[in-house]
Structure 1
Amino acid sequence: MTLFDDRERGFENKFVHDEELLFRFYARRNKLLGNWAAELLGKSGPDRDAYAREVVLSDLVEVDHESDVYRKVSEDLEALADERTIKVKMAEFLEMAKQQVMSEEK
């Protein structure tokens, strides 16, 4: 095994770790967004939790982490929240999710 092989394996491990973190950030963001949207829709308890799971799963439809989740929430909320409000909440919840996930990493 050469130094080059060790460095390559190190870069690969870092890439995998970073991708796992990104996945966790977006999954957490989507859960927070789902809970927020569920409250606007008047859902609580198990219905709220089920809706939040639907939002998390909607992220698996397309490759990016924005359009499919945004589309799901905006269609469900219709007149309850406009595009700007939803996108601002998505950004806020992403920052909150990053903080939560990173504090769990310690």
Structure 2
Amino acid sequence: MSSIHPEVQAALDMARDLRNRIADLRERIDQVRARRPSPSGAVIPEVDAMGRLTGLYLAPGTAARFTTAELTAEIMAAIGESTADAARQHHAIMNDSIPSDLIDAADPAAAPS
């Protein structure tokens, strides 16, 4: 009967831990949704962490209330704000997920003196 060398077992354990961390991170990123209203509040888009438009709400009567150019500006402003918010959420998740020992290893200036 052969047994696994302790260093090989440690590497396998670290790989499993890394896979679990990546899965958790992807799950958190998949849950990101940003919904920022337009300047008038009549348009609310939903944007995911990758900046994809996943939904668009128009308040009743919005299409009749605005000209085509005004409605386009409302939609684009709301999408822009939502995309920026989703990017901030994504950035926060990514920065919170990096272990401090990796940050110190990557940036010698960040290591304590």
TM-score normalised according to structure 2 size: 0.43
Question: Relative to total residues, which structure has the larger helix share, 1 or 2?
Answer: 1
Q: Looking at both structures, which has the greater relative contact order when contacts are Cα pairs under 8 Å and sequence separation is at least 6?
A: 1
Question: Relative to total residues, which structure has the larger strand share, 1 or 2?
Answer: 2
Q: Which has the larger radius of gyration?
A: 2
